[in-house]
Amino acid sequence: MAVVDFMSSQHKSTKRDYLARVVEHPKAEVAKIAKKFGVEYWDGDRSTGYGGYHYDGRWRSVASDLASHYDLKAGDRILDVGCGKGFLLYDLTQVVPGVVVEGIDISSYAVEHGKEEIRPSLHVGDAKELPYEDNSFDLVVSLNTVHNLYIYDAFDAVREIERVGKKSKYMCVESYRSEEEKVNLMYWQFTCEMFCTPQEWAWFFKQAGYTGDHSFIFFE
């Protein structure tokens, strides 16, 4: 299990006003809306989520880095757990023509409004009960998803990711290294349920039997 960072540049490309996040709107109320993972979260106002999550190629660099690091080739099977609208999976098919992609997400809205070219490969489902056989995928990725689960469900989800991945696995989760980053995370997040330091995450992954790679998003 190694720390491999594919996400920092993507994360840092967005500027955040942490104080405005909790001052301008009732945080508890907008978080309740966001956690439904419906239209308000994906394509509603910025106060309850992405503020409109549309394909713009932002995931292409991440797809290229994943393809290079894990030596992906035509015929490889890739699963994205928490795929959203499938933008990363689409970019992987463009970076490595011939890969076979599958995506699963708890949000029926995201799947129904997924990238048209790969929408048939996107499915509504639960990360803690993946509907796939053991060792089904050459690469399993899960970006910004596992921390949205309560610890007991996250444990099951990580074990499921380990089970269906026969080769490479990669997860990215939110974390904090200081009191400032912890407060920023609490101010900014809408859906996070697990607030853990990197050391706590490492312990958690070990307890779940996870052998893949991981990285963290920090709110600096």
Residue-wise pLDDT tens digits, 200-213? 999 999 999 999 99
Tokens for 115? 């990238």
Alpha-carbon distances of 214 from 77, 95, 121, 146, 168, rounded to whole Å: 19, 22, 24, 11, 11
The pLDDT tens digits for 30-82 are: 999 999 999 999 999 999 999 999 999 999 999 999 999 999 999 999 999 99
Q: What integer pLDDT is reported at residue 14 of this predicted model?
A: 83
pTM of the predicted model as reported, rounded to 2 decimal places: 0.96
Q: Which stretches of the chain are DSSP H helices?
A: 8-12, 18-23, 27-34, 39-43, 60-69, 87-95, 108-112, 151-164, 179-188, 198-207
The strands making up 77-81's β-sheet, listed across from edge to edge, are 122-124, 100-105, 77-81, 137-143, 165-175, 213-218
Collect all residues with Cβ–Cβ distance below 8 Å to 165 and sequence separation of at least 6. 79, 135, 136, 137, 139, 140, 212
3-state secondary structure 41-64: HHHCCHHHCCCCCCCCCCCHHHHH
All structural domains of the chain, each given as residue ranges with its CATH number in brackets, are 8-218 (3.40.50.150)
Q: Which two tokens stand for residue 123?
A: 């499915």
**pLDDT for 11 beyond 90:** no
As a residue count, the chain comes to 220
pLDDT tens digits for 119-150?
999 999 999 999 999 999 999 999 999 999 99
pLDDT at residue 196 above 90?
A: yes
DSSP-assigned beta bridge partners for residue 101: 78
Write the DSSP symbol of residue 208.
Answer: T
| Residue type (1 letter), 214 | H
Whether residue 159 is predicted with pLDDT greater than 80 in this model: the reply is yes
pLDDT at 10: 82
pLDDT in tens, 78-126: 999 999 999 999 999 999 999 999 999 999 999 999 999 999 999 999 9
pLDDT at residue number 1: 76
DSSP three-state, residue 13: coil
Per-residue model confidence as pLDDT tens digits over 164-193: 999 999 999 999 999 999 999 999 999 999
Q: Which two tokens stand for residue 172?
A: 């990215």
175, β-bridge pairs: 218
Beta bridge mates, 218: 175
- Please give the mean pLDDT across all residues of the chain: 96
Q: Is the pLDDT reported for residue 15 higher than 90?
A: no
Distance CA 49, CA 86 (A): 17
Structure confidence at residue 9 as a pLDDT band (50, 70, 90) = confident
